[in-house]
């Protein structure tokens, strides 16, 4: 690449970041499609990701749907398509584990106030006897953020599966703090939650999800276990040292170690497509209803997407869902429980974002970790900025926010 071209790319990235919070062009009609095209294309050109798929929609309506780039930075690689599958990383927490938990709550087989130790014998050791299901789903349990899989492997017992070794390890851990006194976003929380689900079910949680959610919604390309054909459609996340691609295999080290043979990982490991996830978002933003079918009870969805954090903790989270409070993910009109913006991101470059106020959702899937999971240097366009620009553009396109942005942009 010539030095001149590098300079042009850098200037483009800086210019795009600078416009993330600027007013939309003063034209008769805000062109959402053109703005999103510009943002997503810049992500490919600035090597934030090799490719991406974006869908913006509302119940019964698709506002935008487009694929960008290729599987890798080699332009002869397969082009991204609408049916390209992605490793969802932590989006699995809400699209898989938390959703399964809500179904069990609907069935009155689970309560958010249930003690984890009542479902996983031995979990209550070392001060964890008061940890509840709600604590896991809101990340206030006191469990640490992550675990070293090599440490777990060294202590694994003969004939003990990887997944059982992990749950035993978590059961033996000491808490970092008393439950509900602080917050630590933890993959251990959702791996434990998945095991709670599967203990109640006496089966894998993906079977329940396929029967009650993925099947009825027509999410045919969503799951933990992929067919050979589906693996070929997966966007690779890493170029391995031997020159092969990590494709259709779990990127997250802990979920990868856990495996999918006997239990679902819970924190990551779910694969899906943008069209599949658009259906899931539509169901959630429509109060648990998809078409004429009620998938999850409206009151359960309401509970799941409202702030469930202890009053003493400033962070806001629902049950599995993050609650966004800062601009440009939200406006000043997203203050009440009925108008909040919820969502979740994934390490591989994924995002679900739902504005309950305008009933608008965003599904953004990328493979930003390719080829080597390197972080962007300061000043370079990165996935966080791309996400913010996309959400800002979508909010600006909603008629109900037109006067709000007209007023706030004048003050800048």
pLDDT at 2: 45
For the chain, the average pLDDT equals: 94
Percentage of the chain lying above the pLDDT 90 cut: 89
Please state, in angstroms and rounded to a whole number, the distance separating the CA atoms of residues 384 and 60.
29
Q: In the predicted model, is pLDDT for residue 15 greater than 80?
A: no
Q: Are 29 and 396 in contact (CB under 8 A)?
A: no
Enumerate the β-bridge partners of residue 238: 246
Confidence of residue 347 (pLDDT cuts 50, 70, 90): very high
Domains of the chain plus CATH, in order, are 49-375 (3.40.710.10)
Tokens of 7: 């300079």
Helix (H) or strand (E) holding 362, with range, is strand 360-366
pLDDT at 411: 81
Q: In the predicted model, is pLDDT for residue 19 greater than 60?
A: no
Q: Are 183 and 139 in contact (CB under 8 A)?
A: yes
Q: In the predicted model, is pLDDT for residue 24 greater than 80?
A: no
For the chain, what is the largest distance between any 2 Cα atoms, rounded to a whole number of angstroms?
Answer: 69
Q: In the predicted model, is pLDDT for residue 250 greater than 50?
A: yes
Enumerate the β-bridge partners of residue 363: 55, 352
pLDDT at 95: 99
Q: What are phi and psi of 177, to 5 degrees?
A: -165, 170
Q: In the predicted model, is pLDDT for residue 28 greater than 60?
A: no
C-alpha torsion 126→169→178→114, nearest 10: -90
pLDDT at 57: 99
Please state, in angstroms and rounded to a whole number, the distance separating the CA atoms of residues 3 and 22.
29
Q: In the predicted model, is pLDDT for residue 26 greater than 90?
A: no
pLDDT in tens, 355-406: 999 999 999 999 999 999 988 878 899 999 999 999 999 999 999 999 999 9
pLDDT at 17: 47
Q: In the predicted model, is pLDDT for residue 142 greater than 60?
A: yes
Q: Are 302 and 242 in contact (CB under 8 A)?
A: no
pLDDT in tens, 72-110: 999 999 999 999 999 999 999 999 999 999 999 999 999
User: Are β-strands 350-355 and 360-366 bridged in parallel, bridged antiparallel, or unpaired?
Assistant: antiparallel
Confidence of residue 252 (pLDDT cuts 50, 70, 90): very high
Residue 411 CB partners (closer than 8 Å, separation 6+): none
Q: In the predicted model, is pLDDT for residue 205 greater than 50?
A: yes
DSSP state of 67: E
pLDDT at 376: 81
Percentage of the chain lying above the pLDDT 70 cut: 93
Please state, in angstroms and rounded to a whole number, the distance separating the CA atoms of residues 396 and 406.
10
Confidence of residue 6 (pLDDT cuts 50, 70, 90): very low
Helices (H), ranges, 297-345: 298-304
DSSP state of 400: G
Please state, in angstroms and rounded to a whole number, the distance separating the CA atoms of residues 221 and 85.
7
User: Are β-strands 360-366 and 51-58 bridged in parallel, bridged antiparallel, or unpaired?
Assistant: antiparallel
Secondary structure (DSSP) of 29-64: S--HHHHHHHHHHHHHHTTS-SEEEEEEEETTEEEE
Mean pLDDT of 321-332: 97
pLDDT in tens, 43-69: 999 999 999 999 999 999 999 999 999
Q: In the predicted model, is pLDDT for residue 10 greater than 90?
A: no
Return the HEC string of 70-83. ECCCCCCCCECCCC
CA 244, chain centre distance (Å): 26
């Amino acid at each position: 690449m010539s030095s001149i071209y590098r300079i042009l790319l850098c200037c483009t990235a800086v210019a795009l970041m600078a416009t993330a919070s600027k007013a939309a062009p003063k034209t008769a009609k805000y062109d959402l499609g053109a703005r999103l095209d510009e943002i997503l294309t810049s992500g490919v050109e600035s090597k934030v990701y090799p490719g991406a798929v974006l869908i913006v929609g509302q119940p019964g309506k698709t506002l935008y749907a487009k694929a960008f780039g290729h599987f890798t930075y080699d332009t002869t690689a397969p082009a991204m398509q609408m049916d390209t599958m992605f490793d969802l990383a932590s989006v699995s927490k809400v699209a898989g584990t938390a959703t399964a938990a809500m179904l069990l709550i609907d069935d009155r087989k689970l309560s958010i106030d249930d003690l984890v130790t009542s479902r996983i014998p031995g979990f209550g050791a070392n001060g964890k006897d008061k940890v509840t299901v709600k604590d896991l789903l809101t990340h206030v349990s006191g469990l640490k953020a992550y675990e070293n899989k090599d440490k777990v492997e060294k202590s694994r017992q003969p004939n003990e599966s990887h997944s059982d070794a992990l749950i035993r390890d978590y059961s033996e851990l000491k808490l970092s703090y008393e439950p509900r006194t602080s917050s630590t976003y933890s993959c251990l929380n959702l791996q434990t939650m998945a095991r709670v689900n599967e203990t109640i079910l006496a089966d894998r949680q993906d079977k329940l999800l396929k029967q009650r959610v993925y099947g009825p919604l027509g999410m045919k390309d969503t799951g933990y276990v992929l067919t050979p054909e589906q693996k070929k459609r997966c966007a690779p996340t890493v170029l391995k040292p031997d020159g092969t691609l990590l494709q259709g295999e779990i990127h997250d080290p802990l979920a990868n170690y856990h495996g999918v043979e006997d239990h679902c990982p819970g924190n990551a490991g779910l694969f899906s497509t943008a069209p599949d996830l658009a259906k899931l978002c539509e169901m959630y933003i429509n109060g648990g209803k998809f078409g004429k079918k009620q998938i999850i009870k409206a009151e359960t969805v309401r509970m799941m997407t409202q702030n469930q954090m202890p009053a003493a903790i400033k962070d806001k989270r629902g049950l599995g869902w993050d609650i966004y409070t800062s601009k440009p993910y939200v406006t000043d009109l997203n203050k009440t429980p009925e108008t909040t913006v919820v969502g979740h991101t994934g390490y591989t470059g994924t995002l679900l974002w739902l504005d309950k106020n305008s009933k608008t959702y965003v599904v953004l899937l990328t493979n930003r970790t390719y080829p080597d999971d390197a972080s962007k240097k300061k000043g370079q366009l990165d996935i966080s900025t791309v996400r913010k620009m996309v959400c800002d553009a979508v909010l600006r396109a909603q008629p109900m926010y037109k006067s709000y942005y007209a007023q706030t942009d004048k003050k800048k």
